[in-house]
């Protein structure tokens, strides 16, 4: 028998791929869920859950939805690389509304950050969770900003947060990159469960990735403090996927993969790391 949070959990982005999976798995634990999304919820509601359609850009609606909630699992927003003007509303203004709601309710934030906040590190590198952000586009930049917002709300207001830098959370890995970056749905659901139930989390970062042999990129995060370890692995897909590469040198060089090549206009690759020697 698992523990149940004392207060309801607000889940944004409930109608999205990960939101639907979490609504199902957290609902099955008997947790009281307050679901919201701008899109209709396509599944039967879990027992005891409510669903309200709302735009993250509507601050009053978000404050109301968070009333009485002890945790906000924030999955909503633009989830792929898009032009700046499309990202800024849901992912920056919307995130501010969610953090304001967390502050008002003294609720904890679980933020769906992304590997794209550090996407321009090379795949031959190994980085700890406290390494500088190196976003690979406007989407990744919004995730880095979101993590920084978490730090500000922790130091200024005592709002706790766990920032999960999700790798590739899909039902199955589909290419060679995902042999490193893949996270299974059950591993993500178990991590979210620990993020909600762990008594104190401060402002922490967890790499959202399964136990893949090729995952040499990311280390030193809050998993031990959270009492979480991944149980699944992309390794059984190695033979099938090792050759599934794009042929694009920018995409294959960096951790962020295809997002790094979107709109890329350098003639030569940047020097390795953030403070590498200049190539000019
Ligand atoms: N799936 C992954 O591999 C992955 C990797 C890294 C990070 N993430 C992050 O995890 C979260 C969930 O990802 P997903 O794959 O389920 O994405 P998704 O696109 O399927 O879900 C996002 C949801 O947010 C909702 N949304 C968008 N704009 C909104 C707005 N203005 N107001 C309210 N709701 C809005 C959408 O309707 C959608 O249902 C996202 O924040 C994403 O950036 C996912």
Question: Which of 11, 15, 16 to mutate for ligand 1's pocket (most ligand atoms within 8 Å of CB)?
Answer: 16
Over the stretch 127-162, which tens digit does the pLDDT of each residue have?
999 999 999 999 999 999 999 999 999 999 999 999
Least Cα distance to 195 among 251, 111, 79 occurs for 111
Nearest-atom index, ligand 1, CA of 80:
43
Give the pocket of ligand 1 (CB within 6 Å): 13, 15-19, 37-39, 55-57, 75-79, 90, 94, 112, 114, 166, 168-169
Nearest CA to ligand 1 atom 26: 77
How many domains are there within the chain?
1
Residue 270 lies in a domain: no
Q: Is residue 273 part of a domain?
A: no
Question: For residue 2, is pLDDT > 90?
Answer: no
- The enclosing domain of 147 has a CATH number of 3.40.50.720
pTM here?
0.97
With respect to residue 216, please indicate whether it lies within any of the assigned structural domains: yes
Residue 105 domain flag: yes
Catalytic (active site) residue 185: no
Q: Of how many residues is the chain composed?
A: 280
At residue 271, the pLDDT reads 86
CA distances (Å), origin 17, targets 4, 39, 41, 168, 191: 24, 12, 11, 12, 17
| Mutation probe of ligand 1 site: the residue of 10, 18, 169 with most atoms within 8 A of C-beta | 18
* Average pLDDT rounded to a whole number, residues 192-211: 98
CA distance 194 to 188: 10
Q: Is residue 232 part of a domain?
A: yes
What percent of the chain stands above pLDDT 90?
Answer: 95
Q: Whose CA is nearest to atom 12 of ligand 1?
A: 75
Q: What is the DSSP letter of 85?
A: H
pLDDT tens string 100-121: 999 999 999 999 999 999 999 9
- Domain carrying residue 87: 9-261
Atom of ligand 1 minimally distant from the CA of 15 = 39
Residue 84 lies in a domain: yes
Quick one: pLDDT band at residue 277, thresholds 50, 70, 90? low
What are the CA-CA distances from residue 242 to residues 174, 208, 209, 231, 267 (Å)?
A: 10, 21, 18, 21, 28
Residue 136 lies in a domain: yes
Nearest ligand 1 atom to the CA of 113 is 7
What's the gap in Å between 280 CA and the centre of ligand 1?
A: 38
- The tens digit of pLDDT for each residue in 154-201 reads 999 999 999 999 999 999 999 999 999 999 999 999 999 999 999 999
Most ligand 1 atoms within 8 A of CB, residue of 61, 76, 117 to mutate: 76
């Amino acid at each position: 028998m698992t523990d149940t949070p004392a207060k309801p959990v607000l889940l944004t982005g409930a109608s999205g791929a990960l939101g639907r999976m979490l609504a199902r798995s957290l609902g099955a634990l008997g947790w009281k869920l307050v679901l919201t999304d701008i899109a209709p919820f396509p599944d039967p509601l879990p027992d005891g859950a409510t669903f309200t359609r709302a735009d993250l850009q509507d601050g009053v609606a978000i404050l109301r939805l968070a009333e009485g909630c002890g945790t906000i699992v924030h999955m909503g927003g633009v989830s792929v690389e898009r032009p700046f003007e499309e990202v800024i509303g849901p992912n920056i203004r919307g995130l501010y509304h969610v953090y304001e709601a967390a502050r008002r309710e003294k609720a904890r934030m679980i933020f769906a950050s992304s590997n794209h906040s550090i996407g321009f590190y090379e795949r031959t590198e190994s980085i700890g969770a406290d390494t500088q952000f190196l976003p690979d586009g406007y989407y990744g930049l919004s995730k880095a900003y979101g993590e920084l917002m978490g730090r500000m709300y922790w130091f200024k207001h005592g709002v706790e947060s766990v920032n999960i830098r999700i790798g590739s959370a899909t039902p199955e890995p589909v290419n060679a990159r995902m042999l490193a970056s893949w996270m299974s749905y059950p591993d993500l659901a178990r991590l979210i469960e620990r993020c909600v139930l762990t008594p104190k989390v401060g402002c922490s970062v967890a790499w959202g990735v399964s136990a893949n042999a090729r995952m040499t990129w990311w280390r030193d995060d809050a998993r031990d403090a959270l009492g979480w370890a991944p149980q699944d692995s992309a390794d059984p897909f190695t033979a099938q996927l090792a050759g599934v590469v794009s042929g694009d040198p920018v995409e294959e060089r960096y951790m962020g993969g295809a997002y790094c090549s979107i709109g890329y206009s350098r003639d030569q690759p940047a020097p390795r790391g953030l403070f590498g020697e200049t190539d000019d």
